Amino acid sequence: MPAAPADVVRALPYSTRIYLRVSSCNVKFLAIALVVLISCLFSGSNLLAQNPAESSKTNLEQSLTAIVFLAVDCPISQKYVGELKHIDSLFQSAVTIKGILPGKLKQEEVDQFINEYNIDFPITVDREYEMVKKYNATITPEVFLIDNQNHIYYQGAIDNWFFDLGKYRQQVTQHYLIDAIHAALEGKSPAISKTESVGCIIQRPSSKKHPK
């Protein structure tokens, strides 16, 4: 009659029996560790799936754009270049600043404006006023904060420094654009989503044809 498994084990040398017990414990430990690891991975995936706000925030950080209408000969536009550069450096890759210059400008005028004010954000000339019409821009400077779906989070003045032509505050008390960016990055609507811009009027070409 063949020996029972227990009898076979007892028949082995003492050192071999110890080795088998240790090996068995190691296998059990590895199995438990593997189960714990798989559980952690699944729970982590569930946490990510249950937190759409974080995902939305990440998407927004890659898609927010501040479109700013400027004019090379508008004093208020010129004075705001420094603040726009500050905002650009403040948010870095989270927000893209894009300057729009309406009108049939010569390249020399554009280059002079960029070099004189050391502008390091993109500048586009809107020769046919297509961007002006798209956003119904009327003043320079005027800003439109949008996402990649062209949803407008905020439009209007950059801040409340100027309250009329030639009239400005000694200290800015409302940072409209910065506040709107912070709100959008948090997935919220800005407390102030629209203001009146102060600056130079954008002179659109007349669409009416004069009789011959």
Token pair of 51 as six digits: 């937190």
Closest by CA position to 113, among listed 70, 68, 69, 72:
72
pTM score above 0.85: no
pLDDT digit string (tens) for 122-132? 999 999 999 99
Q: Tell whether the model's pLDDT for residue 49 goes beyond 90.
A: no
Kindly state the DSSP code that residue 159 receives in the 8-state scheme.
S
Q: What is the pLDDT of residue 84?
A: 98
Measured between alpha carbons, how far is residue 18 from residues 7, 11, 12, 14, 81 in Å?
15, 13, 10, 6, 79
C-beta atoms surrounding 182 within 10 Å: 13
3-state SS, one letter per residue, for 9-49? HHHCCHHHHHHHHHHHHHHHHHHHHHHHHHHHHHHHHHHHH
Token pair of 170 as six digits: 């000694």
Q: Which residue has the higher pLDDT, 173 or 205?
A: 173
Q: What is the pLDDT of residue 63?
A: 83
Q: Average pLDDT of 4-19?
A: 50
Instruction: Name the pLDDT band for 8 (thresholds 50, 70, 90).
Output: very low
Cβ atoms 168, 146 nearer than 8 A: no
Q: What is the pLDDT of residue 37?
A: 52
Q: Tell whether the model's pLDDT for residue 150 goes beyond 50.
A: yes
Q: What is the pLDDT of residue 205?
A: 84
Q: What is the pLDDT of residue 31?
A: 55
Cβ atoms 157, 179 nearer than 8 A: no
pLDDT digit string (tens) for 177-194? 999 999 999 999 999 999
Which residues are CB-contacts of 76 (< 8 A; sequence separation ≥ 6)? 140, 141, 162, 165, 198, 199, 200
Q: What is the pLDDT of residue 208?
A: 57
Instruction: Name the pLDDT band for 158 (thresholds 50, 70, 90).
Output: very high
Q: Distance between CA 114 and CA 111 in Å, rounded?
A: 5
